[in-house]
Amino acid sequence: MSVWRYTSGLNADVVRHWVDRVAAAPTKGPKPSLEPAPHTGRELPFLRELHSQKQSKFTPWKLALPSPTTLVPAVLLLLILVLQLAVFPRLPSHYQLFRSSSPPPPNSCPSVPAYNPFVQELYCRAPQYTPNRLYRQTPHSMALAAAAERIAAEFEYPKEQVQKGVTAFMRQMDEGLQVQGATLSQIPTYVTAVPNGTEKGLYMAVDLGGTNFRVCSIQLHGNSTFSLTQSKVKIPGDLMTAKTSHELFSFLAKQVETFLKTHHGEHYSSHVERRKKSSMLSGESYSDEDVFSLGFTFSFPVQQYGINKGTLIRWTKGFDIPDAVGKDVCALLQKELDALHLPIRVAALVNDTVGTLMARSYTSPGKTGTLLGAIFGTGTNGAYVEKLSRLTKLAKMGPEAGDVETSTGEMIVNTEWGSFDNHLSVLPTTSFDRTLDAASNNPGIQMFEKRISGMFLGEILRRCLLALIHDPSTPLFTDEHSNQNDMHSTTNIHDDSPLYRPHGLDTSFLSIASGDASPGLKVTRQALDIEYGVSAASAEDAEAVRLISSAIGKRAARLSAVAIAAVVLSTGKLTNTTGNADDDTIDIGVDGSLVEFYPNFEDYLREALREVPSIGPAGEQRIRIGIAKDGSGVGAALIALVAERERAGGNASAASPSSGAGGEGGLLQSVLSSLNRNLRIRV
Ligand code: BGC
């Protein structure tokens, strides 16, 4: 155990406290109390020594005049204080014995320039904490900092690369519009317009994302507002890789049943009653009155053939149920809902990005329609409004494409940008990205997503930390370098630590570490302890973790900017201007844990947008990014509304109770006409 631990662990306030008491000791009058101020927390050995000195050697203070032996500790303490205040601050930080915690330095930039400008900036942008800049005080700390900086630097994604990325992205977007099977799938969604906020009604939606399954009912108020009732359940890990699709889809149907019973009990029981009656009356067929229209948000790549029909192309985000691939996912869900006799019709199949785009358009301020809905969560993807004339592959699809409503001249296209540049011509790649991909259940696929999304960022960090842990020359989570822990706490990684398990580190930890401004990075250290079995991590450990987390997050945000820039540029939105600032706003709806919680995500993203020459600061300012929280559910409900209206148009007598719950009035006609009229909804 090094002496640094004791000395640098000594709190200057405690020293000052003792010196003040010595200085203030009266020579006459009542006996001064020599008890030190109550000391909370674990006591450092050095302090214990001080306290015991006080008891044995300070006893003579009880005499009227202090003896020379009494004066020795006081003089010593005074000397230490003078040294600390007058001399040590002028020495380089790693020679200082005591650090002053106040006043805090103006920012968190290191005084000695870091590994490279990229790393230096990561430090400077990190939130400041007290005491600041703990490490670089011992050779071990410096070694750890240097190793962490080297790894962080691998995640640099400079501006020339951003520009290259945008060019390649635009090229791959074009390819996807022209041919089936391109890297960017550019899937037609059959939704050819966006809502305007006046739609009304009560609808249901379910959302199978990456991590959770949500069931919601949505009351659209018709004034750009809505009320949402929802339940959410984490998808059990074994169902993500279930043997049959029946296992997953019957679980989903069960959740819908529970939701209906809990939140729409009356509706559910009256339906069950009616069903019973109709089955008792021979010859009377069951009527589909009071059946909810449901929007099914299914956040995986699906080849859509109509508004409620689409076959699964591939699983992403850790799902792997081979027998579902190539099947119509709406039919799979409807079958399980029917098996439970639920009053629900799957009316629309919606990717979460399309839902986000619809929801943002419904709620966004002003008249400007939303251009892009994007998810930066467990997975990443974007859907945008494209000109039908550019979607040339539709014509090549023949009868498979179904009827396309052309009145708006536009269609929402689901890019499936998670698979941008799968062949890695422009994407930045570190050794950590490579090993992550090789160990994944879909190597070579979703390469963009594997650098951006919540499913993978935690795993990238885990791999970086393991590299440091396994490198004997780098003292991460070892006892040697800490100047924070007392001698009784031994830094230790438990054998069953999730850090040793693939995907054991959750991406939310990156947000915690990157945004940690707690004294001595306590929050990160506690999370390491409680969640990841690393006991007594030091502030230096936490700072190394924080630096790498920030680097991974910053690269993800800058890569996200590539996708946004490419969509903005390829749709020509920047060049088509009216001169009216409101109309020229380019609106983007986003959702997902990363964009919502990762510190500085939007700032980093916007910085990269400004660096793209054809966007620049002026273009970046025109881009408005708004969170469409849980937008996918609302968006799916909006599309279900349209589907139902279409259906009612075909059969006016079959009025739905959901539309009855408020009337739809004001429904955007062009949305209505957007549906594939050939499709009839299953009952
Ligand atoms: C899926 C997309 C989805 C995105 C966000 C990706 O893994 O392929 O369909 O939109 O995740 O949830």
> Residue 165's pLDDT is what?
98
If we measure between CA atoms, which residue out of 481, 482, 484, 479 comes closest to residue 11?
484
Q: Which residue has the higher pLDDT, 428 or 638?
A: 428
Q: How confident is the model over 491-508, as a mean pLDDT?
A: 94
Q: What is the pLDDT of residues 423-473, one digit of tens each?
A: 999 999 999 999 999 999 999 999 999 999 999 999 999 999 999 999 988
Quickly list H helices, 571-673: 593-597, 601-611, 616-622, 631-650, 657-660, 669-672
> Residue 371's pLDDT is what?
95
The whole-angstrom separation of Cα 34 and Cα 226 is 67
Q: What is the pLDDT of residues 521-571, one digit of tens each?
A: 999 999 999 999 999 898 889 999 999 999 999 999 999 999 999 999 999
Q: What is the pLDDT of residues 343-376, one digit of tens each?
A: 899 999 999 999 999 889 888 766 678 999 999 9
Most confident by average pLDDT, 100-104, 204-208, 425-429: 425-429
Asked whether 331 and 240 are in contact (CB, 8 A), the reply is no
The whole-angstrom separation of Cα 536 and Cα 541 is 10
Q: Please provide residue 206's backbone torsions phi and psi, each rounded to the nearest 5 degrees.
A: -125, 155
Q: Which residue has the higher pLDDT, 78 or 305?
A: 305
> Residue 97's pLDDT is what?
35
Whether 410 lines ligand 1, by a CB cut-off of 6 Å, is: no
Asked whether 373 and 360 are in contact (CB, 8 A), the reply is yes
> Residue 8's pLDDT is what?
27
Domain annotation for the chain: domains and CATH numbers: 139-155+425-555 (3.40.367.20), 197-277+287-362 (3.30.420.40)
Catalytic, 328? Answer no
Partner residues linked to 293 by β-bridges? 345
Residue 648 Cα to chain centre, angstroms? 40
Q: What is the pLDDT of residues 561-606, one digit of tens each?
A: 999 999 999 999 999 787 777 778 999 999 999 999 999 999 999 9
Q: Which of 249-258, 283-292, 328-337 comes out lowest in average pLDDT? A: 283-292
If we measure between CA atoms, which residue out of 620, 607, 604, 606 comes closest to residue 569?
620
The whole-angstrom separation of Cα 479 and Cα 492 is 8
If we measure between CA atoms, which residue out of 631, 506, 594, 589 comes closest to residue 207?
631
> How many whole angstroms from 258 Cα to the centroid of ligand 1?
26
Res. 288 pLDDT band, cuts 50 70 90: low
Asked whether 116 and 153 are in contact (CB, 8 A), the reply is yes
Query: At residue 311, does pLDDT exceed 90?
Result: yes
The whole-angstrom separation of Cα 119 and Cα 451 is 19
In the structure encoding, which two tokens stand for residue 106, read together? 């103006």
> How many whole angstroms from 377 Cα to the centroid of ligand 1?
9
Global pTM reads 0.76
Whether 301 lines ligand 1, by a CB cut-off of 6 Å, is: yes
Catalytic, 352? Answer yes
> How many whole angstroms from 380 Cα to the centroid of ligand 1?
5
Which of these is catalytic: 16, 125, 171, 314? Answer: 314
Q: Which atom of ligand 1 is nearest to the CA of 317?
A: 7
Res. 297 pLDDT band, cuts 50 70 90: very high
Res. 76 pLDDT band, cuts 50 70 90: confident
Which of these is catalytic: 352, 486, 516, 630? Answer: 352
Res. 152 pLDDT band, cuts 50 70 90: very high
Which three-class secondary structure state does DSSP give residue 682?
coil
Q: What is the pLDDT of residues 124-150, one digit of tens each?
A: 888 876 554 554 567 778 889 899 999
> How many whole angstroms from 426 Cα to the centroid of ligand 1?
21
Q: How confident is the model over 187-210, as a mean pLDDT?
A: 81
